[in-house]
Amino acid sequence: MIQVYTDGATNVNTGKSGAGIYIKSGEQKLEYTVPLPYMSNHEAEFHAIIEALRICKTNFPGEILSFRTDSKVAAEVIDQGRTKNKQFLPLLETIQAASADFPFLFIKWIPEKENSKADQLARKAIHQQER
């Protein structure tokens, strides 16, 4: 089972957002920073999950994925497979389509302190754009 930690971050002062992805597969550890245009923290989190699914499709096709996020909103929307939020709906649909490439995708909410690596990567993605 592949463990995927994701986080989205937004800096309202600079108008930049970023996604951080940390993937563990046995001894292998992969880190990704994804610069994003300005969006809400929740939207950045969904984009982090979408990008992580793309990465997993390339690097871990057909594997079971266990996602961990500190976003209760993203975890609940994906777990329930529905949302009333019109901004989240196309993101959810993208995630549902991408997750069809895997036998199982689990998503679990974790506290922020357990998601520090993905958080660092998301913040790094913002800082990369500010240079």
Helix axes 89-99, 41-59, angle to 10 degrees: 20
Rounded CA separation 95/53 (Å): 8
CATH number at residue 6: 3.30.420.10
Domain count, the chain: 1
Residue 131: per-residue pLDDT: 66
Report yes or no: 75 and 108 within 8 Å, Cβ to Cβ. Answer: yes
Rounded CA separation 66/81 (Å): 16
Look up the domain containing 43 and give its range: 2-130
The pLDDT tens digits of the residues spanning 72-125 come to 999 999 999 999 999 999 999 999 999 999 999 999 999 999 999 999 999 999
Q: Judge whether residue 130 has pLDDT over 90.
A: no
